[in-house]
Amino acid sequence: MVKLTTDLILKNTGQIRRQRDESLQHFTRRITHAYCNEKNIDEIENIAACRNLSVLYLYDNHIKNCNKLINLFNLTHLYLQNNNITKLPSLHSLKKLTKIYLGGNEIAVLEGLEKLPNVIELRIENQRLPPGEKLLFDPRSLATIRRSVQVLDISGNGLDNLADFYGFENLIYFTAKNNTISNFETLKRTFSSWFSTTTIDLTGNPICEKSRYRDQMLVICPSSVGK
Protein backbone atom coordinates (compact mmCIF):
# COMPACT_ATOMS: atom_id res chain seq x y z
CA MET A 1 0.00 0.00 0.00
CA VAL A 2 1.33 3.41 -1.01
CA LYS A 3 -0.22 6.61 0.31
CA LEU A 4 -0.01 10.06 -1.21
CA THR A 5 1.42 12.13 1.62
CA THR A 6 3.14 15.46 1.95
CA ASP A 7 6.46 13.61 2.26
CA LEU A 8 5.86 11.80 -1.03
CA ILE A 9 5.06 15.08 -2.74
CA LEU A 10 8.25 16.63 -1.36
CA LYS A 11 10.22 13.86 -3.05
CA ASN A 12 8.55 14.38 -6.42
CA THR A 13 8.70 18.09 -7.16
CA GLY A 14 10.56 18.02 -10.44
CA GLN A 15 13.34 20.58 -10.57
CA ILE A 16 12.44 22.37 -7.34
CA ARG A 17 14.82 21.62 -4.50
CA ARG A 18 14.92 22.67 -0.89
CA GLN A 19 17.42 25.47 -0.41
CA ARG A 20 20.07 25.51 2.26
CA ASP A 21 18.68 26.77 5.56
CA GLU A 22 15.14 26.83 4.12
CA SER A 23 12.53 25.66 6.59
CA LEU A 24 10.50 22.60 5.66
CA GLN A 25 7.31 24.62 6.02
CA HIS A 26 8.52 27.27 3.60
CA PHE A 27 9.69 24.66 1.09
CA THR A 28 6.35 22.87 1.29
CA ARG A 29 4.47 26.07 0.55
CA ARG A 30 6.76 26.83 -2.39
CA ILE A 31 5.88 23.66 -4.29
CA THR A 32 3.58 24.21 -7.25
CA HIS A 33 4.02 20.97 -9.22
CA ALA A 34 4.00 17.37 -7.97
CA TYR A 35 4.86 14.40 -10.21
CA CYS A 36 3.30 11.47 -8.38
CA ASN A 37 2.23 9.43 -11.39
CA GLU A 38 3.09 5.72 -11.58
CA LYS A 39 3.84 5.40 -7.85
CA ASN A 40 1.37 2.59 -7.04
CA ILE A 41 -0.62 5.04 -4.91
CA ASP A 42 -3.94 3.68 -3.68
CA GLU A 43 -4.82 6.16 -0.96
CA ILE A 44 -4.60 9.92 -0.48
CA GLU A 45 -3.92 11.40 2.94
CA ASN A 46 -4.36 15.00 4.03
CA ILE A 47 -1.92 17.03 1.92
CA ALA A 48 -3.34 20.47 2.72
CA ALA A 49 0.13 21.61 3.77
CA CYS A 50 0.96 21.76 0.06
CA ARG A 51 -1.41 24.66 -0.25
CA ASN A 52 0.18 26.20 -3.34
CA LEU A 53 0.09 23.12 -5.54
CA SER A 54 -1.26 24.11 -8.92
CA VAL A 55 -0.43 21.03 -11.03
CA LEU A 56 -0.81 17.50 -9.65
CA TYR A 57 0.10 14.42 -11.68
CA LEU A 58 -1.54 11.30 -10.25
CA TYR A 59 -2.18 9.25 -13.37
CA ASP A 60 -1.44 5.52 -13.61
CA ASN A 61 -1.97 4.71 -9.95
CA HIS A 62 -4.63 2.70 -8.06
CA ILE A 63 -6.56 5.54 -6.43
CA LYS A 64 -10.21 4.88 -5.58
CA ASN A 65 -11.09 7.96 -3.55
CA CYS A 66 -9.89 11.52 -4.16
CA ASN A 67 -11.85 13.32 -1.44
CA LYS A 68 -8.69 14.59 0.27
CA LEU A 69 -7.81 16.75 -2.73
CA ILE A 70 -10.52 19.31 -1.98
CA ASN A 71 -8.18 21.33 0.26
CA LEU A 72 -5.81 22.17 -2.58
CA PHE A 73 -7.42 25.53 -3.27
CA ASN A 74 -4.83 26.67 -5.83
CA LEU A 75 -5.00 23.58 -8.02
CA THR A 76 -5.41 24.39 -11.72
CA HIS A 77 -4.45 21.09 -13.43
CA LEU A 78 -5.49 17.68 -12.10
CA TYR A 79 -4.31 14.48 -13.81
CA LEU A 80 -6.13 11.38 -12.54
CA GLN A 81 -6.18 9.15 -15.61
CA ASN A 82 -6.02 5.39 -15.26
CA ASN A 83 -6.94 4.96 -11.63
CA ASN A 84 -9.85 3.12 -9.96
CA ILE A 85 -12.08 6.10 -9.19
CA THR A 86 -15.79 5.26 -9.20
CA LYS A 87 -17.21 8.56 -7.97
CA LEU A 88 -16.02 12.13 -7.90
CA PRO A 89 -16.49 14.11 -4.71
CA SER A 90 -17.84 17.63 -4.91
CA LEU A 91 -14.88 19.68 -6.08
CA HIS A 92 -16.57 22.99 -5.22
CA SER A 93 -13.55 24.30 -3.31
CA LEU A 94 -11.20 23.93 -6.29
CA LYS A 95 -12.47 26.99 -8.07
CA LYS A 96 -9.18 27.59 -9.93
CA LEU A 97 -9.31 24.25 -11.75
CA THR A 98 -9.00 24.72 -15.49
CA LYS A 99 -8.00 21.25 -16.70
CA ILE A 100 -9.30 17.90 -15.42
CA TYR A 101 -8.14 14.54 -16.78
CA LEU A 102 -10.23 11.55 -15.69
CA GLY A 103 -9.89 9.04 -18.53
CA GLY A 104 -9.62 5.34 -17.83
CA ASN A 105 -11.42 5.22 -14.47
CA GLU A 106 -14.72 3.61 -13.39
CA ILE A 107 -16.87 6.73 -13.10
CA ALA A 108 -20.54 6.04 -13.85
CA VAL A 109 -21.81 9.62 -13.38
CA LEU A 110 -19.87 12.80 -14.07
CA GLU A 111 -20.70 15.04 -11.12
CA GLY A 112 -19.07 17.31 -8.58
CA LEU A 113 -18.25 20.09 -11.06
CA GLU A 114 -21.26 22.32 -10.41
CA LYS A 115 -19.21 25.12 -8.81
CA LEU A 116 -16.18 25.09 -11.09
CA PRO A 117 -16.71 27.99 -13.49
CA ASN A 118 -13.19 28.02 -14.95
CA VAL A 119 -12.82 24.52 -16.42
CA ILE A 120 -11.67 24.84 -20.03
CA GLU A 121 -10.55 21.26 -20.64
CA LEU A 122 -12.31 18.10 -19.51
CA ARG A 123 -11.27 14.61 -20.54
CA ILE A 124 -13.34 11.70 -19.22
CA GLU A 125 -12.81 9.16 -21.98
CA ASN A 126 -12.95 5.36 -21.77
CA GLN A 127 -14.53 4.76 -18.40
CA ARG A 128 -14.47 1.09 -17.39
CA LEU A 129 -18.19 0.49 -17.02
CA PRO A 130 -20.20 -2.77 -16.89
CA PRO A 131 -21.31 -4.07 -20.31
CA GLY A 132 -24.35 -2.23 -21.62
CA GLU A 133 -23.97 0.79 -19.33
CA LYS A 134 -23.07 4.30 -20.46
CA LEU A 135 -21.58 7.32 -18.78
CA LEU A 136 -24.19 9.67 -17.30
CA PHE A 137 -23.88 13.40 -16.72
CA ASP A 138 -25.20 15.36 -13.76
CA PRO A 139 -27.24 18.32 -15.13
CA ARG A 140 -25.87 20.71 -12.49
CA SER A 141 -22.29 20.01 -13.44
CA LEU A 142 -23.07 20.36 -17.14
CA ALA A 143 -24.88 23.66 -16.54
CA THR A 144 -21.69 25.10 -15.01
CA ILE A 145 -19.06 23.83 -17.43
CA ARG A 146 -21.31 24.51 -20.45
CA ARG A 147 -20.20 28.14 -20.33
CA SER A 148 -16.45 27.55 -20.02
CA VAL A 149 -15.29 24.25 -21.57
CA GLN A 150 -13.28 24.57 -24.77
CA VAL A 151 -11.90 21.01 -25.03
CA LEU A 152 -14.08 17.99 -24.29
CA ASP A 153 -13.28 14.29 -24.70
CA ILE A 154 -16.06 11.79 -23.95
CA SER A 155 -14.82 8.97 -26.16
CA GLY A 156 -15.52 5.31 -25.47
CA ASN A 157 -18.36 5.71 -22.96
CA GLY A 158 -21.27 3.89 -24.60
CA LEU A 159 -23.06 7.11 -25.58
CA ASP A 160 -25.79 6.90 -28.23
CA ASN A 161 -26.64 10.61 -28.44
CA LEU A 162 -25.22 14.01 -27.51
CA ALA A 163 -28.37 15.77 -26.33
CA ASP A 164 -26.80 16.59 -22.95
CA PHE A 165 -24.24 18.83 -24.62
CA TYR A 166 -26.58 21.40 -26.10
CA GLY A 167 -25.37 24.96 -25.66
CA PHE A 168 -21.63 24.47 -25.10
CA GLU A 169 -21.07 27.89 -26.56
CA ASN A 170 -17.27 28.09 -26.20
CA LEU A 171 -16.44 24.54 -27.23
CA ILE A 172 -13.57 24.45 -29.71
CA TYR A 173 -12.41 20.82 -29.78
CA PHE A 174 -14.80 17.90 -29.24
CA THR A 175 -14.20 14.19 -29.52
CA ALA A 176 -16.66 11.38 -28.88
CA LYS A 177 -14.87 8.55 -30.63
CA ASN A 178 -15.89 4.91 -30.24
CA ASN A 179 -19.40 5.41 -28.91
CA THR A 180 -22.68 4.17 -30.45
CA ILE A 181 -23.95 7.37 -32.10
CA SER A 182 -25.87 6.53 -35.26
CA ASN A 183 -28.50 9.19 -36.02
CA PHE A 184 -27.93 12.58 -37.66
CA GLU A 185 -31.26 13.93 -36.45
CA THR A 186 -30.22 13.61 -32.80
CA LEU A 187 -27.08 15.62 -33.51
CA LYS A 188 -28.59 18.58 -35.31
CA ARG A 189 -29.96 20.46 -32.32
CA THR A 190 -26.77 20.01 -30.31
CA PHE A 191 -24.31 20.88 -33.05
CA SER A 192 -26.33 23.90 -34.15
CA SER A 193 -25.78 25.39 -30.67
CA TRP A 194 -21.98 25.22 -30.93
CA PHE A 195 -20.76 28.50 -32.36
CA SER A 196 -17.03 28.22 -31.69
CA THR A 197 -16.32 24.59 -32.57
CA THR A 198 -13.60 23.94 -35.14
CA THR A 199 -13.05 20.19 -34.62
CA ILE A 200 -15.52 17.36 -34.09
CA ASP A 201 -14.26 13.78 -34.08
CA LEU A 202 -16.81 10.96 -34.12
CA THR A 203 -14.47 8.27 -35.44
CA GLY A 204 -15.58 4.75 -34.54
CA ASN A 205 -19.30 5.54 -34.25
CA PRO A 206 -21.86 3.80 -36.50
CA ILE A 207 -22.82 7.17 -37.95
CA CYS A 208 -19.45 7.38 -39.70
CA GLU A 209 -20.42 4.43 -41.90
CA LYS A 210 -23.42 6.23 -43.38
CA SER A 211 -23.27 7.59 -46.90
CA ARG A 212 -22.22 11.21 -47.29
CA TYR A 213 -21.32 11.37 -43.60
CA ARG A 214 -18.82 14.19 -44.00
CA ASP A 215 -21.16 16.23 -46.19
CA GLN A 216 -23.94 15.96 -43.65
CA MET A 217 -21.60 16.90 -40.81
CA LEU A 218 -20.55 20.04 -42.63
CA VAL A 219 -24.18 20.99 -43.17
CA ILE A 220 -25.21 20.67 -39.53
CA CYS A 221 -21.96 22.08 -38.10
CA PRO A 222 -20.26 24.03 -40.90
CA SER A 223 -17.48 25.54 -38.78
CA SER A 224 -16.17 22.14 -37.68
CA VAL A 225 -13.90 19.66 -39.36
CA GLY A 226 -16.11 16.58 -39.46
CA LYS A 227 -14.23 13.28 -39.18
Query: pLDDT, tens digit, for every residue of 110-158?
Result: 999 999 999 999 999 999 999 999 999 999 999 999 999 999 999 999 9
Q: Which of 156, 174, 184, 161 is nearest to 224 (CA)?
A: 174
Per-residue pLDDT tens digits for 171-197: 999 999 999 999 888 888 899 899 899
Which of 1-5, 76-80, 214-218 is the least confident region?
A: 214-218
State the average pLDDT for the chain: 93
Helix (H, G, I), strand (E, B) or coil at 99: strand
- What span, in angstroms and rounded, lies between the C-alpha atoms of 36 and 27? 17
What is the per-residue pLDDT for 211?
81
What is the per-residue pLDDT for 128?
98
**Residue bearing the bigger pLDDT, 118 or 215:** 118
Residue 226, pLDDT > 50, answer no
| Burial zone of 208 (CB within 10 Å; 0-12 exposed, 13-18 middle, 19+ buried) | middle
Helix (H, G, I), strand (E, B) or coil at 123: strand
Per-residue pLDDT tens digits for 24-54: 999 999 999 999 999 999 999 999 999 999 9
Residue 103 backbone zone (phi > 0: left; psi -120 to 50: alpha; other: beta): beta
Which of 10-19, 64-73, 131-140 is the least confident region?
A: 10-19
pTM, two decimals, is: 0.93
Helix (H, G, I), strand (E, B) or coil at 189: helix
Q: Which CATH superfamily is domain 2-226 in?
A: Ribonuclease Inhibitor (3.80.10.10)
- What span, in angstroms and rounded, lies between the C-alpha atoms of 17 and 54? 17
Please, which pLDDT band fits residue 223 given cuts at 50, 70 and 90?
Answer: low
What is the per-residue pLDDT for 41?
98
End-to-end CA distance of the chain: 44
CB-CB neighbours of 19 under 10 Å = 10
Please, which pLDDT band fits residue 227 given cuts at 50, 70 and 90?
Answer: very low
- What span, in angstroms and rounded, lies between the C-alpha atoms of 9 and 55? 12
What is the per-residue pLDDT for 108?
97
What is the per-residue pLDDT for 222?
63
Residues found in the chain: 227
Please, which pLDDT band fits residue 202 given cuts at 50, 70 and 90?
Answer: very high
What is the per-residue pLDDT for 184?
87
